[in-house]
Amino acid sequence: MKRTDIGGQAVIEGVMMRSEKGTALVVRRSDGSLANEFHHKRTRYKKGSFPTWPVVRGVYAFFGALSDGMNITTRAAEMLGEEEEEPSKFEKWLAKRFNKSAMDVVKWVAIVLALVLAIGLFFLLPIGVVSLLELIFGKMSAVWSAVVQGLIRLVIFLLYIYGISQIKDIKRVFMYHGAEHKTIACYEAELPMTPENAAKCTRLHPRCGTNYLFLTMAVSIIVTTVVSALCTLIPGFTAWHDASGLNSFLFRIARIVLILPIAGISYEVLKAAAKRDNLVCRIARAPGLALQHLTTKEPTADMLEVAIASFELALHPPKGDLEFDEKAAAQKQETPEETPPSEERKEETDA
């Protein structure tokens, strides 16, 4: 079985594939044609440098994924030819203030809001629930507080995934997510890269971001519980922790700082579990693979065609960057070539 480090991301009506050479993005436009784009890798960290250290590289990957995910999603929408929303007055003010384009401001505002929502939903909300439980049932120990908060986060996460999987537009993105996985599985099975062969392959993959998210939740429970247990061994800690609501609040907020090492540790666990096939790794992979039944859906043949085109572009990129020509695509839509009635019209591919 062939192994590959190529990974991807599903976007609206398309698939991004990333190899060590760069990033390929292919989307299907409303006229049925494929719009392609490839950018060679720009940031290369020297082997042995700080960003490549174990655990630390996971933190870099975490923030890189946030930024790249937003960039790819925005670019996919542009390639589809969808009209951009008019920036608000506040966004225009920020753009002028920071000397950035309105689109860049919108992107970073969205990233900040996503982080605030994630912290509020997965960290502050569990803290609030535990505080409410303590008012009703009495003070919990630091260890039990960490365990209960972790379980609440896990429940919120599962409900969130299930909820968004029921949204029509998200379902379609999840179908492209399935197409991405099936394409990679087809390559690793050493089958000819065709939609028919890819359709027979599994849509579950051990290196999926879904696995990473679930591992982050699991590692969060373990790390915060261990840290809380170690803190109780510090002389006077329990008295300080229980002395006032402020101290208790500060201790709980301090756990948010653990997000970074948790992200790094989860990244290392994900990579190790994906490369090995022993019992421990299979157990580590199992919950994330099960969750992929929600985050991936069976794709159609045309979705597999998009994913395969993106994979092939990432595997065999052009010498230079391949930019999508929006003007040429628009002109092509306005003045389509005449096709003799006897000939079947073929799909066009914008380069």
Digit-coded pLDDT (tens) for 90-117: 666 666 776 666 666 666 777 777 778 7
Average pLDDT of the chain is: 81
pLDDT given at position 107: 66
Please, which pLDDT band fits residue 337 given cuts at 50, 70 and 90? very low
Segment 152-156 shows an average pLDDT of 89
Q: Could you report how far apart the first and last alpha carbons of the chain are, in Å?
A: 32
Domain range list for the chain = 7-319
CA distance 291 to 322: 35
- Nearest of 229, 271, 345 to residue 55 by alpha carbon: 271
CA distance 87 to 107: 11
pLDDT digit string (tens) for 270-282?
888 888 888 888 8
Task: List residues bridging with 14 in a β-sheet.
Answer: 11, 27
CA distance 297 to 174: 5
CA distance 93 to 6: 40
pLDDT given at position 165: 87
